[in-house]
Copies of this chain bind each other. A is one copy, B any other.
Amino acid sequence: MDQLAQTLARIAADMAAAPDLGRVADYIPALARIDPAQFGIAIVLADGSVHVAGDADVAFSIQSISKVFTLTMALGKAGADLWQRVGREPSGSAFNSIVQLENEQGVPRNPFINAGAIAVADVVLGRGDPREAIGDVLRFVRALAADADGPDEGIVIDREVAASEAVTGHRNAALAHFMRAYGNMADVEGALSLYFHSCAIAMSCRQLAMAGRYLMAGGINPATGHSVVSAQRARRINALMLTCGHYDGSGEFAFRVGIPGKSGVGGGILAVVPGVASIGVWSPGLNARGNSLRASLALEQLSEAMGWSVFTAR
Contacts and interface: CB of A to CB of B under 8 A. Distances in A.
Interface residues on A, range: 35 or more
Contacts of A99: 98-99, 102-103
Interface stretch (A51-59, A86-94, A197-205): A86-94
A250 B177 contact: no
A130 interface: no
Contacts of A235: 258, 309, 311-312
Contacts of A90: 89-90, 92, 243, 250-251
A175 interface: yes
Nearest to A183: B170
Given A102-B97, A313-B234, A177 B181 contact: no
A163 B97 CA distance: 30
A236 interface: yes
A6 B91 CA distance: 38
Contacts of A181: 170-171, 174
A274 interface: yes
B240 A251 contact: yes
Given A314-B274, A314-B275, A248 B89 contact: yes
B218 A313 contact: yes
Nearest to A220: B313
Nearest to A273: B313
B251 A87 contact: yes
A180 interface: yes
Closest 9 CB pairs of A and B: A92-B92, A90-B90, A275-B313, A89-B251, A170-B181, A174-B178, A174-B177, A171-B181, A218-B313
